[in-house]
Structure 1
Amino acid sequence: MWQQENVKEKIQFFRLEEFNGLEMLKASYRKQVFSRHVHETFCIGVIEEGAQRFYRTGAEHIAPKGDIILVNSDEIHTGSAAVATGWSYQAIYPSPDLLRSLSRDLKYADGSIPWFPSAVVHDPGLSEQLRLMFNLLSQKSNTLFKETMLLSSLSWLMMNYGKTRITAQKLPSAEKQILLAKEYIDAHAETDVSLNRLAEMVQLSPWHFLRQFKEIFGVTPHVYLIFARLRMARKLLLDGHSILNVAIRCGFADQSHFNRHFKNALGITPGMFVRSLQTA
């Protein structure tokens, strides 16, 4: 666990190795503005004070005190204060694999990864259960109770607010081409790839490619490149690489540039992330 505190903000970040590296955040933000970003994990949070404004699923949402925030894996979202006093919340970031394993024992007969259609849920009973779970997870003991609360809370959430993901239909040829460009970015996030190069790969003009990419994925290729670099950076930090080395290897201009993008997307600095690994 790592903690940072000042007059305006208090941030505690946990990485729970006993739950396969499950991440948890307790934070109070006043001025923090999360840029558009994605997580490979889900985000399940409860607003404890104030209110949060955020973009998800093509619309703006406001979550007041006591409400639950739900963000699906790989779903573009933002975050900022909805009131002058900011917001405080607790959240966990379960992996798709964790929810898939639970889905096999619930209503998802095929063991598929669930999808939460609602960005904000008002359920006082579940909110209280999640808060109890958050507090338990931050403790060093009570392993059996923690495991029980985690699984029961996630199961209840999935049973009442989760849906089965609809299997994607066969993609049109044009979308397949754009997907190839996305996969190229994922595989070569550290490179300084140009718009012309990506457009040539899929045999489109740069302008047409730019429009098609944003229409399909909700962001420009440049913004998606930042997403891919941050995913790569997290993996390298987990493997023990230094922050400076990670910044260079992932294609960021310098360490300051890397720090800014990391904080804007995740709410913590790379240094806080690394220190949480050292104290886990």
Structure 2
Amino acid sequence: MKKNNIERADYHFTEELGGIERLDASYHKQNFSRHSHEGYTVGVIEEGAQRFFRTGNNHIAPQHSIILINADEVHSGQSATENGWSYRAMYPVPALFESISRELGLNHGAPYFPEAVVYDEHMANMLRLGFTTLNTSDNRLLRETLIYSMLIKLVARHSKARPDNRLNVAATPQMLLVKQFLDDQPQVDVSLVELANLVNLSPCYLLRQFQRHFGLPPHTYQIQLRLRLAKQLISQGSSLLDVALECGFHDQSHFSRHFKKTLGVTPGNFAKAIGNIIQ
């Protein structure tokens, strides 16, 4: 049967365990730009198939498979089939996974998932049950029990100790200084030439080296930082127009376009999901 091409994306915010963001979506034309999340991505494909970039390679996740993306790992996403794909995903923060690793006696900090696509029918069914329960039950004990159970089993079955981050380890003090500048003030309108002058490098060399070490060119990296700041401001109740301008976007339309290409939903839908409905 041909899949309906209407796109749908529902963002949820689970208050338990420090707060976990979730996405339930069906996409046809959505094309996620290369980006990263502060949290991990744990998703299960319900229909169709997704093509995405992770760890330097392209992957295809078919129906019933599990997608695993580590925190701060650059990735993308689009349909791998003519009729799109549907999936449900959650984005646990590293601190939650670190506590689970300690409880399991792994003692290696936040876990690392080496495989981008995992075929584990039992784990996939457990994730589906967990997502459905989070959408339908307000029993906090049940919800927290399921979240912990899902993440514990995921860590035990599919994680390893995190390898050395070769990108950041190899970064020169100059690259780290540029990164720190962007981290500290993502909303500032700075040019590539100005960043290059800051560390006495040519713009061309800076561009190539920054992407080599951190996986994204400086401008794209800056956009990711602005979006993370935007999420914080939205959660504090700021209006979407104020958020757009304060985070350094040209206007609200420019902000919304980048937000959806990264998170898969509009800023308004995100605001509603966390209980701050912006008029």
Q: TM-score range by the shorter chain?
A: over 0.9
Q: Distance in 2 between matches of 1:204 and 1:7?
A: 48
Match of 1:271, as an amino acid?
G
Deviation digits for residues 229-279 of structure 1, max 9, x if unmatched?
A: 111111111111110001000110110000000000000000001111227
Deviates more, 1:161-170 or 1:248-257: 161-170
Alpha-carbon distance, 1:205 to partner: 1.4
Please name the residue that 1:160 is paired with: 157
TM-score under structure 2 length normalisation: 0.93
Q: Which residue of 1 aligns with 2:112?
A: 115
Contact map agreement 2:50 2:85 (CA 8 A) in 1: yes
Residue equivalent to 2:257: 260
By how many angstroms is 1:164 displaced?
1.2
Q: Of 191, 196, 199, which aligns to 1:194?
A: 191
Deviation at 1:18, TM superposition (A): 2.8
Contact 2:39 2:91 survives alignment (8 Å): yes
> In 2, distance between residues paired with 1:147 and 1:101?
14
CA drift of 1:20 comes to 2.1
**Which secondary structure does the structure 1 equivalent of 2:273 belong to?**
helix
- 1:38 corresponds in structure 2 to 36
> Could you tell me which residue of structure 2 aligns to residue 99 of structure 1?
97
SS of 1:186 mapped into structure 2: helix
Aligned amino acid, residue 59 of structure 1: N
Q: Which runs of 5+ in 2 are unaligned?
A: none
1:16 has 2:28 as partner: no
* Mapped pair 1:235 → 2:250: no
Q: Do the aligned partners of residues 279 and 232 (structure 1) sit closer, same or farther apart at CA in structure 2, a change above 3 Å counting?
A: closer
For the pair 1:273 / 2:270, whether they are aligned, the reply is yes
Task: Give 3-state SS (helix, strand or coil) of 2:274's partner.
Answer: helix
Which secondary structure does the structure 2 equivalent of 1:69 belong to?
strand
Cα drift, residue 171 of structure 1: 4.3
Give the root-mean-square deviation of aligned CA atoms: 1.8
Distance 2:18 2:137 in 1: 15
* Consecutive unaligned residues in structure 1, runs of 5 or more: 1-5
Does the 8 A contact of 2:5 with 2:83 survive in 1?
no
TM-score (norm 1): 0.93
Q: Which residue of 2 is the match for residue 139 of structure 1?
A: 136
2:242 is the alignment partner of 1:248: no
Which residue identity lines up with residue 259 of structure 1 in the other structure? S
Q: Distance in 2 between matches of 1:150 and 1:279?
A: 24
Where in structure 2 are the equivalents of 1:41-80 lying within 5 Å?
41-80=39-78
1:225 and 1:219 map into 2 onto residues whose CA distance is: 9
Cα deviation, residue 7, structure 1: 6.1
- Do the aligned residues in 1 keep the contact of 2:110 with 2:162 (CA within 8 Å)? yes
Post-superposition offset of 1:24: 1.0
**Maintained 8 Å contact 2:101/2:110:** yes
Deviation string 1:67-117 (CA, Å, 9 cap, x unpaired) is 00001111111110000110011011101111011111114225x011111
CA distance in 2, matches of 1:258, 1:146: 33
Q: Which amino acid aligns with 1:53?
A: R
Residue in 2 aligned with 1:83? 81
1:198-218 superposed Cα distances (whole Å, 9 cap, x missing partner): 112222111111111111112
Distance 1:80 1:189 in 2: 27
Alignment of 1:201-240 (within 5 A): 201-240=198-237
Counterpart residue identity of residue 24, structure 2: K
Q: In the aligned structure 2, how far is the partner of 1:18 from the partner of 1:217?
A: 32
Task: State the distance in 2 between where 1:161 and 1:171 align.
Answer: 25
**8 A contact 1:107–1:159 mirrored in 2:** no
- Deviation (angstroms), 1:140: 3.5
Q: What is the CA–CA distance in structure 2 between the aligned matches of 1:199 and 1:279, rounded to whole Å?
A: 40
